Structure 1
Amino acid sequence: MFLQRTTLPWKSLHLRRYTQSTATAVLLHDAGSPLTLLEGEEESFPRPDPKYAETIVAIPRSTSGKSIAAKERKAGRLPSIVFEQEDGQHGGNKRLISVQSNQIRKLINHLGRIFFLSRLFDLEVRSAGFDSVDIVEKVRVLPRKLHLHAATDAPLNVTFIRAPSHAFLKVDVPLVFRGEDVSPGLRKGAYLNTIKRTVKYLCPADVIPPYIDVDLSEMDVGQKVVMGDLKVHPALKLLQSKDEPVCNIVGSRVSDQKKSK
């Protein structure tokens, strides 16, 4: 039932530089056999909300540099780069582009910043302006790095990496915690100690999860969730220790203990 929920933006995060060195493709599998959800698993794992299946429109950019970037931002555009997958076979091919500031800002606001960095988008590079019908390149991409203004949180630049079906990508997948209202430990007055907000996986491009659910509904005081406990598609490979903690239920707060005396 929770699969119908939209991804939850975490507005409380105040990081200024969001990076997916995580979003780097590192190997390929047989392009003739794309990996997708296995039969019967469609209801077991979260799927990207089609509400945010938006095509990002871009225009080519011939030069780079601080002055060029400043002019782009002043004109309502974000200087951006699209990288080829860095698997040693494509030479790090990249394309300089500019995207529309308003479009990227809208997607970040709607999805939440870390969810934006784990979401696949279609990208169209148009030769003669954003309204042009002449498309230079049309490709699926994953946002790799997002740089925000330290004071205003306005996006300053964004980097994408091409995400064809045959690519495997390192992705920091966001965690969504649920079941707080029925957790035995939390109902006793304990509190949730959140240790991780994302977990890094090697994902086939076609099955990157929009988020991973962390079920707290049966957790009692002193219990914890580790990365190996998370339920994910079997094609995903955990790139961190399976014993690394995600969260735990900690005993009553000191202030609550004093009140009970």
Structure 2
Amino acid sequence: MAQWWRSATSHLRTAASNHHNLPSPLSTFRTAPYHTIQAIPRDFTGSRVSARDRLQGRIPAVVFFQNLLEKDPASRSASKKHLLTVEKKQIKAILDSPEAPFFCTTRFPLQIRAGSGSKHLLESGNVFPIKIHRDEESGKILNLVFVWAEDGMDLKVDVPVVFKGEDVSPGIQKGGILNRIRPSLKYLGPSEHIPSKIEVDVSNLDIEDKISMHDIELHSSLKLLSKNENIPICKIVPTSLRNQDPLVSN
């Protein structure tokens, strides 16, 4: 266990020392106390152990460096997965908050303590939740997956697209429909510059107007992972009835 924590600490300190001159991170979460996720380490895995943790009001979780997911073994970090449990009440409070739809693209502080209620801090850092596993029937959270997200760490993240201005869009007012072609866009870049969502303004779009990937402007450090940036994100399309209306074609 001691070696495990030294490995995690070494990686985080290295990341921090390499990027201490970066500008302040772009905050994508509010500073309410429950947004610092509290966790404790777990030594064992298995369905029985996980079931016991859930009965005690805790959710099994894992945190690791995202490059462990890479197919190329040479690009993987040498550190192992870090097994944790987090407080069910706290996670529920976060998911019930206004940020809930963007939980998996919001960077959270994480504190790993020696035990439940312990003041002994073993490690701390920033993380992205990347997956919530739920029971298919009950919807209850079974476990959570996090990746470390310190300043300067490049992550691949699917950022959800949110559309605004539909109520005043000329094309929609004429009877057109907003065709949401891409619900999210994948970016690679420093974790502190990854937004929790991408807002696409459609308030000026008319029938047949569209917004493409290359129209989106984010931080210059973020790279859009798409072979064709001309692919549309959305388009105002006429309904079959409005297609026959001469006002639409003019």
Compute the TM-score of the two structures, normalised by the length of structure 2.
0.80
How much has 1:104 moved relative to structure 2?
1.3
1:69-111 deviation digits (Å, cap 9, x = unpaired): 1111122111101103427363143211000112112212324
How much has 1:231 moved relative to structure 2?
2.1
Q: Is the contact made by 1:200 and 1:239 (CA closer than 8 Å) also made in structure 2?
A: yes
Query: Take 2:242 and 2:211, find their aligned partners in 1: how far apart are those partners?
Result: 25
Q: Is the contact made by 1:228 and 1:243 (CA closer than 8 Å) also made in structure 2?
A: yes
Q: What residue in structure 2 maps to residue 97 of structure 1?
A: 84
Matches within 5 A, 1:17-166: 31-34=19-22, 48-50=28-30, 54-86=35-67, 88=75, 90-111=77-98, 114-129=101-116, 131-166=117-152
Q: What residue in structure 1 maps to residue 187 of structure 2?
A: 201
- Which structure has more helix as a fraction of its residues? 2
Q: Is the contact made by 1:117 and 1:144 (CA closer than 8 Å) also made in structure 2?
A: yes
1:116-148 deviation digits (Å, cap 9, x = unpaired): 00000111111121x210011111111121111
Query: Take 1:257 and 1:76, find their aligned partners in 2: how far apart are those partners?
Result: 59
- Report percent identity of matched pairs: 36
Query: Take 1:218 and 1:210, find their aligned partners in 2: how far apart are those partners?
Result: 24
Compute the TM-score of the two structures, normalised by the length of structure 1.
0.76
SS at match of 1:59: strand
Alpha-carbon distance change, 83 to 111 in structure 1, aligned in 2, over 3 angstroms: farther
Query: Take 1:96 and 1:141, find their aligned partners in 2: how far apart are those partners?
Result: 14
How much has 1:63 moved relative to structure 2?
0.6
Query: Take 1:116 and 1:196, find their aligned partners in 2: how far apart are those partners?
Result: 19
Query: Take 1:184 and 1:63, find their aligned partners in 2: how far apart are those partners?
Result: 58
Q: What residue in structure 1 maps to residue 9 of structure 2?
A: none
Matches within 5 A, 1:215-234: 215-234=201-220
In structure 2, stretches of 5+ residues that fail to align are 1-14, 69-74, 246-250
Q: Is the contact made by 1:191 and 1:253 (CA closer than 8 Å) also made in structure 2?
A: no
Matches within 5 A, 1:172-251: 172-240=158-226, 241-251=228-238
The one-letter code matched in structure 2 to 1:34 is L
Q: Is the contact made by 1:225 and 1:248 (CA closer than 8 Å) also made in structure 2?
A: yes
Query: Take 1:155 and 1:162, find their aligned partners in 2: how far apart are those partners?
Result: 21
Alpha-carbon distance change, 142 to 223 in structure 1, aligned in 2, over 3 angstroms: same
Q: Is the contact made by 1:192 and 1:247 (CA closer than 8 Å) also made in structure 2?
A: yes
Deviates more, 1:199-208 or 1:80-89: 80-89
Query: Take 1:228 and 1:255, find their aligned partners in 2: how far apart are those partners?
Result: 29
How much has 1:228 moved relative to structure 2?
1.3
Query: Take 2:181 and 2:156, find their aligned partners in 1: how far apart are those partners?
Result: 20
Higher-RCO chain (CA-CA 8 Å, sequence separation at least 6):
1
How much has 1:65 moved relative to structure 2?
1.2
Bigger Rg, structure 1 or 2: 2
Query: Take 2:210 and 2:243, find their aligned partners in 1: how far apart are those partners?
Result: 21
In structure 1, stretches of 5+ residues that fail to align are 1-27, 38-45
